[in-house]
Structure 1
Amino acid sequence: MSARTVWAGIVRSPLGITSLALVTLVALTAILAPLLWGAQAEQVDPTAITQGPSAAHLLGTDALGRDVLARVMVATRLSVLLAVIAVVIGVTIGAILGTAPSVLPRWAGRPIAGFVNIAVAFPGLLLALFFAVIFGVGTTGSVLAIGFAMAPGFARLTQTLSSAIAGRDFISAAQVAGVSRFRILIRHILPNIGEPLIVNATVAAGSALLAFAGLSFLGLGVQVPAYDWGRLLGEGLNRIYLNPAAALGPAVAVVIAGLAFNLLGETAAAALGGRSARRRARLPLVARSGAPVPAQVDGEEVVLRVDDLRVSFPSPAGWLTPVRGVTFDIRRGEAIGVVGESGSGKSLTALAAAKLIETPGHVSAAALDFCGTSLLTTPDRALRGLLGTSLAMVFQDPMTSFNPTRRIGSQLAEAASEHQGLSRRAAMARAVERLQAVRVPAAERRVRQFPHEFSGGMRQRAMIAMGLMNHPRLIIADEPTTALDVTVQRQVLQLLATVRRDTDAAILLISHDIAVVAQTCDRVLVMYAGRIVEDLPAGVLHSDAQHPYTRALLDVIPELDTDRDIPLRTIPGRPPAPGAFPAGCAFADRCPMASALCRESDPELTVASDGHRVACWHPVMKDPATPRLEREAATR
């Protein structure tokens, strides 16, 4: 979320408007008060010593006859300035201490982390008093004392945020690539934790005001002839029985300024977390009049075109390319299944098509077009509206795809609000409608529930409903039936088929179960070692599969009439690692038909028949008895 979006959320929130108004009032007072009331605040009047409130002096006068209200207004500049400086010191030192374990070697980082843990256990005011004694009485000592007292809290926050970011895949990839720890900190960690630090620093400014007031009140802070709110509060309390207003003025100023900074920080945190009740502007779509028109193949619209797709990641030995040269098209209303063992590149291909490969991963292709728009050359901001409205993702585990702290309805409604500009009420009504469309019972009640209150099948249905909040042209389902029982698997697959029929959306179904793909898809892409080794119609999968790997996948599927005394078939060996692809066919070491040619040269994906492509030097020819068996089965 950009800074502009965060501040826009603050401005559109009633609480945010209030906090901004208070902060603006404090800032203007700090700037203008010394110019407007500076002389009045310093003017000594022996005839008006310790007077109570009057028309001439609204808060009365002090022991030298100076106007208390003018002094309170003028003290705003010093009080706010010292608090801001202390916060800057605290954030800087805290960020250094918090990120040190990520930059320094383990033996040096652990003592620093232990010191931070000990320092956090002490109350902030106690630390401030301790450092005030060390740095000495006065303005400089107070600034350093409060800044150092805040540092452990910011260090713990920075350490926690850094640890969360350090566990991301892109950080691991950078480490594998040999990027130094300092560059990882500057380029990957700090940009991702900057906004939370700024928000917490805003809140801390209010606490710093109170801490300064406390130190000055105790005589450890600002010294004469300078004065801040804390010193004025101490002077007012000494004469509270003669003129209570003299103590009330600086106290109210501290409360207002502290409240302003705290409210601003809390509102910014809400906007940063996406919790502000604001209406988002509708983003322009890419595929409109004047935009690229989706390609046509045989009179049918091509929703997704992938040509020579390659996905690479850095490693100490160079670039690893787990997806190498994948080519296929998906037409409108078509269902394509992608099968293969783990590590074959199925999910990476889908993530690349959805623009979800993060840096330092690199995606290249001769063509990677979605609805006629290039995903490689079009700016991300322009793609956001297109992918948000026309592409839906159904992930393997919807529990990790839903935010556990937000209700299902609000998460579904967010998609419609983001891209269609619907009001909260209209978006929630659409969420109920979409849950009903995917056959979630009692949808009106379900939208108010959290993800953990849904069963696995219900969460998967809700995930599909989220994809349908807009008008998807392509639904990518990555293992949507994993960890579901057979009955729920069938319901989810039937639901996808219904959505496809009703919306004419294309479906890219990724699965380990080749039998499921054969029953639900029009075409089957068989992937092995980052390549498509066979592309054929699903209707002839069992009868006309020609690649030995495809035949092996079919042979390991047990049938109902399989002899239980015979061990289940397996595919011997293991797929090669991405960094150890052989020069020839990657399946050669596991293939019973491999020859010297297979180990020397990698076969290209060539046309075997109409709508059938295969990459094999020795394809398995169709069994002559198969047509007769198919005719007999059709007759019966």
Structure 2
Amino acid sequence: MAVTTLAPPRAGGNSPRRRGKAARWLAVLRQPIGASAGLLVAALLVLAVIAPWLWSDRADLVDTDQMLLGSSAAHWLGTDNLGRDLLARILVATRLSIGLALTATAITVVVGLLLGAAPVLIGRRGGRLVTSVITIGVAFPGLLMALFFAVIFGVGERGAVLAIGLAGAPAFGRLSQTLVAGIAERDFVAAARVAGVGRIRLLVRHILPNIAEPLIVNATIGAGGALLAFAGLSFLGLGVQAPGYDWGRLLGDGLSGIYVQPTAALAPGVAVVIAGLAFNLFGEAVAKGMGLSTTSGRTRPLRAALKKLRGGAKRETDGDVVLDVHDLSVTFAGADGPVRPVRGVSFTLRRGEAVGVVGESGSGKSLTAHAVARLIEETGQVDGQRLEFLGSDLLGGTVRTHRDLLGTSLAMVFQDPMTSFNPTQRIGRQLAEVARQHQGMTWNKALARAVDRLRAVRVPAAERRSRQYPHEFSGGMRQRAMIGMGVMGNPALIIADEPTTALDVTVQREVLGLLQAIRAADHVAVMLISHDVTVVGQMCDRVMVMYAGRIVEDLPASELGPAARHPYTRALVAAVPNMRTDLRRPLAVIPGRPVLPAQVPVGCAFAPRCPLADDRCTREDPPMVTDPAGRRVACWHAGEPITRDAGNARTREPLGNLTFGNGK
């Protein structure tokens, strides 16, 4: 297959996304308030740079003959008690006032981001402790906290900057925490974790770009608050100390003579108000223009051998086995005790084999796949007698110890193609990150590999498409690109979790055909999770039926019909209409509701909905039994014909004519 070298995307590319961002900023500046506040902020920043050069000598000139004079042509705002020009001093104080406020804002932003991103950086357990600290911090008024820290750090510029910066950190941390949590649950973040992206890189490359705009807006507004707070500390004598001066210091010095020279106190106060309003109004204008709310290194090369991973011992296994799972369970803490949405799941998946997993929503299909891919949240616990992928124990160690293996040999295709990619990065760059992370490729080679993989999954004009953003792809194209990301390495297993749910029938057929082609070409094992029994029956070799967190039947796909032995499997098949369905009769449905993970009954979980259930079913949970042909089923009445009442007689009917319930 031909490989085309692709230059890295330029930061200044004239893409629709960049044009959209530029248009939004221009829209902000077109607003009267936005334009006025923007010009005022720009003027303040320019003044902060040039004022000390132009007026420092005049501001520091002591003239005892000119003390406490009123406004005049020589001194527009008068003089202070040492005869120094008030206007010059206010202008010169702009640099220190603005500079200290921006420094304090920077501290607030950095510390707040670290607090808000703690669940991503140090895990959910440590994140909960940090969340408690944030909750306590936001319970106290900001000015009170600033005074508290000012006493700890001492008077002076440094102490005041630290005090104001740390006092604002809890509120900014709460905002960051909310925004980070919203992005961290997206599928493209999960995909990055599967690819082995480290926590810091995950935060910097995938999460922060998606929350940058609201953070910038709130930081801009926060700068105005920091300016006012700093002036307050200097006014109280806790901030800038003589001979230095900022607006707060000038206000405090002028207050003593306010009845003799009121301008000495009023002018610095007006400067503080104008500057604070400028930052706040500009931030509000940016928020309004963008539709936001204001309330709220080097990569490691691929290991030469994946035969032994840290934290997990390898045992001798059949070389044809890709995934070996035995007695797998996933447990979460619940209000009334532990909840196990996955209970004792066991199966084996071999090279080139396609296994379908079907069942109603909440049956544990996706959680089983996520447990295999090490994507279960830290609040959940994955246990089992065995969970081995390519002979390596995934129950031992952490995700970091298995990142190379999972990043190159396991591919995840998620349900929603729109959330499977980071919307702030180009498609090619996201695919290339896998090669950079695990194969040590340069950007040029990694991007060329990305184009090659896009071409392999039948994306037309692959080189041009690699430079586009996810929103420029259709749903089917995004799903193909997601599969392309999975085959950036050499996957031995592709887990496709509802890969065609959001797609129309034509595109669905193309995506499934693509998975089949990859499977045939590279002898890749496929685990297809779906609600569509028909699709699974056509595409897979074997079907596992899950109910209430466990596998209730494992049978060849060719027998997914009348030959199925578990009542739940037959109910699922009967609920799918076909061309032979009798339209004069109600459509077949499964009566009742699926079992909640926290309310699994004693005995067989399907018993309350099963037409074959008896007293034994409600007392004893049936074990999984394997017949000589390798088919497995967990049912006390496996293979028995379904009976239903017809008047006063008990009749037996074939599966095709059976109605499991009327849905009432």
TM-score (norm 1): 0.62
Q: What are structure 1's unaligned runs of at least 5 residues?
A: 1-81, 120-127, 171-191, 232-277, 627-636
Q: Does the 8 Å CA contact 1:294/1:302 hold for their aligned counterparts?
A: no
Letter in 2 for 1:425: N
Q: Distance in 1 between matches of 2:466 and 2:184?
A: 32
**Are 1:161 and 2:176 counterparts?**
yes
For structure 2, the residue ranges without an aligned partner over 5 or more in a row are: 1-99, 117-127, 186-206, 250-296, 643-651, 655-664
Q: Give, in whole Å, the separation in 1 of the partners of 2:637 and 2:154.
A: 85
Question: What is the Cα deviation at residue 542 of structure 1?
Answer: 1.6
Checking the alignment, whether the CA contact within 8 Å between 2:115 and 2:177 is kept in structure 1 is: no
Do structure 1's residue 399 and structure 2's residue 418 form an aligned pair?
yes
Task: Give me the whole-angstrom Cα distance separating, in 2, the residues matched to 1:330 and 1:411.
Answer: 29
Q: Offset at 1:378?
A: 3.8
Match of residue 500 from structure 1: 519
- Aligned residue in 1 for 2:597: 578
| Cross-structure match for 2:335 | 316
Q: Secondary structure at the match of 2:637?
A: coil
The aligned residue for residue 325 of structure 1 is 344
Query: Counterpart of 1:420?
Result: 439
Taking the TM superposition and a 5 Å limit, the aligned residue runs for 1:460-475 are 460-475=479-494
Query: Is the alpha carbon distance of 1:100 and 1:420 closer, same or farther for their aligned partners in structure 2, counting shifts above 3 Å?
Result: closer
1: CA distance, partners of 2:107 / 2:336? 42
Mapping 1:135-284, distance limit 5 Å = 140-150=155-165, 154-165=169-180, 221-223=240-242, 280-284=299-303
Is 1:370 the equivalent of 2:385?
no
The CA deviation at 1:467 is: 0.2
Pairwise CA distance, 1:588: 0.5
Letter in 2 for 1:447: S
Change (3 A) 1:586 1:462: same
The equivalent of 2:71 in structure 1 is none
Q: Structure 1 residue 91: deviation in Å? A: 7.6
Partner of residue 631, structure 1: none
Query: Which residue of the partner structure matches residue 549 of structure 2?
Result: 530
Does 2:591 align with 1:591? no
Residue equivalent to 2:500? 481
Match of 2:267 in 1: none
Gap change, CA 1:140 and 1:378, over 3 Å in 2:
closer
Q: Which residue of 1 aligns with 2:469?
A: 450
Post-superposition Cα deviations, 1:114-136, rounded to whole Å, max 9, x if no partner, equal: x66xx9xxxxxxxx9xx9xxx99
1:152 deviates by 6.5
Work out which of the residue numbers 624, 627, 640 in structure 2 matches 1:608: 627
Change in Cα spacing, 1:312 to 1:94, as seen in structure 2 (3 Å) is closer
Shift of 1:318: 1.3
Question: Are 1:352 and 2:371 counterparts?
Answer: yes
Tell me by how many angstroms 1:337 deviates: 0.3
Deviation at 1:506, TM superposition (A): 0.4
Cα distance in 2 between the residues matched to 1:430 and 1:585: 50
Shift of the alpha carbon at 1:593? 0.6
Which position in structure 2 is the counterpart of 1:55? none
Instruction: Give the count of matched residue pairs.
Output: 447
How far 1:561 moved relative to its partner? 2.9
- Structure 2 residue aligned with 1:51: none
Report the Cα distance in structure 2 between the residues aligned to 1:404 and 1:486, rounded to whole angstroms: 26
- Superposed displacement of residue 83, structure 1: 11
Residue 53 of structure 1 corresponds to none
- Aligned partner of 1:577: which letter? L
1:29-61 Cα offsets, whole Å, 9 max, x none, are xxxxxxxxxxxxxxxxxxxxxxxxxxxxxxxxx
Query: Does 2:566 correspond to 1:544?
Result: no
Q: Secondary structure at the match of 1:328?
A: strand
- Letter of the 2:580 partner, please give it: D
CA distance in 1, matches of 2:134, 2:483: 46
Q: Compute the displacement of 1:104 (Å).
A: 9.3
Residue in 2 that maps onto 1:28: none
Aligned residues of 1:434 and 1:465 also touching (Cα < 8 A): yes
Work out whether residues 286 and 386 of structure 1, in 8 Å CA contact, stay in contact via their aligned partners in 2: no
SS state of the match for residue 544, structure 1? Answer: coil
Residue 539 of structure 1 aligns to which amino acid in structure 2?
S
- Report the AA paired with residue 164 of structure 1: L
Contact 2:314 2:393 in 1 (8 A): no
CA contact (8 A) 1:535 1:612 kept: yes
SS at match of 1:312: strand
Q: Tell me, in whole angstroms, the C-alpha distance in 2 between the residues paired with 1:476 and 1:505.
A: 11
CA distance 1:433–1:93, change in 2 (3 Å): closer
Q: Does the 8 Å contact 1:287/1:371 carry over to 2?
A: no
How far the C-alpha of 1:110 sits from its partner, in A, is 8.3
Q: How far, CA to CA, are the matches of 1:148 and 1:169 in structure 2?
A: 31
Question: Does the 8 A contact of 1:279 with 1:424 survive in 2?
Answer: no
Contact 2:134-2:174 within 8 A present in 1 as well: no
Change (3 A) 1:295 1:101: closer
- In 2, Cα distance between equivalents of 1:504 and 1:292: 26
Query: Using the alignment, how far apart are the partners of 1:289 and 1:96 within structure 2?
Result: 35
Distance 2:324 2:129 in 1: 46
Tell me the TM-score normalised to structure 2 length: 0.59
Q: Where do 1:40-119 residues align within 5 Å?
A: 103=132
Q: Which one-letter code corresponds to 1:580 in the other structure? A: Q
Which structure's relative contact order is higher, taking Cα pairs within 8 Å and 6+ residues apart?
Answer: 2
- Partner in structure 2 of residue 384 of structure 1: 403
SS at match of 1:388: helix
Residue pair 1:479, 1:511 contacting (<8 A) in 2 also: yes
The alpha-carbon deviation at position 396 of structure 1 amounts to 0.3
Q: Kindly provide the amino acid, as one letter, of the partner of residue 393 in structure 2.
A: S
Instruction: Indicate how the Cα distance of structure 1 residues 148 and 139 shifts in structure 2: closer, same or farther if over 3 A, else same.
Output: closer
Note if contact 2:603-2:619 (Cα within 8 Å) is conserved in structure 1. Answer: yes
SS at match of 2:320: strand
Q: Secondary structure at the match of 1:140?
A: coil
CA distance in 1, matches of 2:304, 2:589: 48
The separation in 2 between residues aligned to 1:93 and 1:371, in whole angstroms, is 42
